[in-house]
């Protein structure tokens, strides 16, 4: 029961699911603006290939097919754009489904000119988002038996779209932007320590919470055992309903295990959530999941991901 309550807290803290749903107006507006920006770049001066033009005004259909296996992300988002361009579409798949090589992910139909104008943008988006979902699923599968979750970072190219793809792969979003949660990392802590406050970090956190009582969480990065106990002491001095998180930056799993075990002995464990970060790979993630942290963050999910290989084929023109 206690473990289930902690899992609920982890998801409430680290997963901004409702903000990345198609029915959310802000998310829909973001998607439309994002796609139109890339389409405008591609079509700034028209399409030099579509001559004679009358040929490309005919109605036609096309398929988007997977050339390798992976996890689907971006289908709902692509659907919004296709709908806005009066392109009919259908798919037997949903975001989060597994697609295999040769599977037809999406069928579309409309004017040939429009399909060709959209082709590269649609494929670019789907390939990247499916790639993110696929690598996230690999990380998540490594720790699926643990009470721990993989989370994305802000090392993204496409902001909310990348975060949504992490969700499709079974991960949690972490922060979507600088406003929904407060994180004090190396440079923030350096700036605070130059102040004249007797307890600069404590005073900084108190002011953050006083001015922004609706933050999803407050998180502080620690790089040593001394810093860890300093932040534990600060958190224990705070009265707040905001989730309090400690990030272990480049700690070994053994060091984290020891600190969390000591914290449990002192009775402070239930009031704090824990994140491990820093060059954690598929080979090492299981060790970190086993050391007692609640989430493991990895920039590799989004900052340098390889897109899933997809192709679009027009039936006939």
Encode pLDDT of 141-191 as tens digits.
999 878 899 999 999 999 999 999 999 999 999 999 999 999 999 999 999
Q: Are residues 37 and 160 in the same domain?
A: no
Contact 87, 114 (CB under 8 A): yes
- The 3-state DSSP class for residue 209 equals helix
Q: Does the pLDDT of residue 112 top 70, yes or no?
A: yes
- Integer Cα distance of 307 and 134 in angstroms: 9
Per-residue pLDDT, averaged over 245-252, amounts to 97
- Same domain (yes/no): 132, 171: no
Assess if residue 286 is contained within a domain: yes
d(C-alpha 149, C-alpha 17), whole Å = 14
CA proximity to 161, closest of 75, 94, 66, 63: 75
Q: What is the pLDDT of residues 194-204, one digit of tens each?
A: 887 788 999 99
Assess if residue 2 is contained within a domain.
Answer: no
Q: Which residues pair with 313 in a beta bridge?
A: 63
Token readout for 110 is 């409309």
What are the tens digits of pLDDT across the range 275-311?
999 989 999 999 999 999 999 999 999 998 999 999 9
Residue 75 contacts residue 93 (beta carbons within 8 Å) = yes
Domain at 240, CATH number: 3.20.20.70
pLDDT of residue 313: 96
Residue 45 pLDDT level (bands cut at 50, 70, 90): confident
- To the question of pTM greater than 0.85 for the whole model, the response is yes
Token pair for residue 266? 């002192």
Residue 60, strand partner residues? 110
> Stretch 51-62: mean pLDDT, rounded?
91
Q: Is residue 4 part of a domain?
A: no
For residue 314, give the nearest of 35, 115, 62 by alpha carbon: 62
Task: Classify residue 120: in a domain, yes or no.
Answer: yes
Residue 172 in any domain: the answer is yes
Q: Which domain holds residue 72?
A: 18-137+306-314
Banded model confidence at residue 317, pLDDT cuts 50, 70, 90: very low
In a domain, 5, yes or no: no
Question: Which tokens belong to 260?
Answer: 């969390």
Specify the pLDDT at position 285. 95
Handedness of CA 249, 254, 257, 263 (dihedral sign): negative
Count CA atoms within 13 Å of residue 284 on its CB side.
15
- Cα distances from 29 to residues 25, 150, 311, in angstroms, run 6, 27, 27
Number of domains in the chain: 2
- Give the count of beta carbons closer than 10 Å to the beta carbon of residue 55: 11
Looking up tokens 């040929």, which residue turns up? 55
The verdict on residue 10 lying in a domain is no
Kind and range of the H or E run holding 222: strand 217-222
């Amino acid at each position: 029961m206690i473990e289930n309550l902690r899992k609920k807290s982890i998801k409430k803290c680290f997963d901004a699911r409702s903000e990345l749903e198609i029915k959310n107006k802000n998310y829909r507006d973001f998607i439309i603006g994002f796609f139109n920006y890339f389409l405008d770049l591609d079509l700034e001066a028209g399409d030099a290939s579509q001559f004679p033009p009358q040929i490309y005004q005919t109605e036609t259909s096309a398929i988007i097919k997977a050339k390798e296996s992976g996890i689907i992300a971006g289908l709902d988002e692509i659907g919004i754009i296709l709908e806005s361009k009066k392109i009919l579409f259908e798919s037997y798949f949903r975001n989060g489904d597994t697609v295999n090589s040769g599977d037809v992910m999406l069928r579309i139909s409309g004017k040939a000119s429009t399909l060709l104008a959209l082709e590269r943008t649609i494929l670019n988006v789907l390939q990247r988002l499916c790639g993110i979902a696929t690598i996230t699923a690999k990380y998540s599968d490594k720790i699926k038996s643990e009470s721990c979750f993989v989370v994305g970072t802000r090392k993204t190219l496409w902001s909310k779209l990348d975060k949504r793809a992490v969700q499709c792969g079974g991960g949690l979003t972490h922060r979507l932007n600088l406003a929904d949660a407060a994180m004090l990392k190396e440079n923030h802590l350096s700036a605070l320590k130059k102040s004249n406050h007797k307890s600069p970090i404590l005073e900084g956190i108190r002011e953050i919470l006083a001015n922004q009582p609706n933050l999803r969480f407050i998180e502080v990065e620690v790089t040593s055992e001394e810093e860890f106990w300093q932040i534990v002491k600060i958190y224990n001095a705070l009265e707040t309903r905001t989730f309090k998180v400690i990030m272990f930056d480049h700690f070994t799993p053994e060091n984290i295990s020891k600190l969390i075990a000591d914290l449990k002995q002192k009775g402070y464990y239930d009031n704090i959530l824990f994140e491990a970060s820093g060059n954690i790979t598929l080979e090492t993630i299981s060790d970190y999941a086993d050391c007692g942290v609640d989430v493991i963050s990895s920039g590799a999910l989004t900052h340098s991901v390889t897109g899933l290989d997809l192709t679009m084929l027009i039936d006939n023109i």
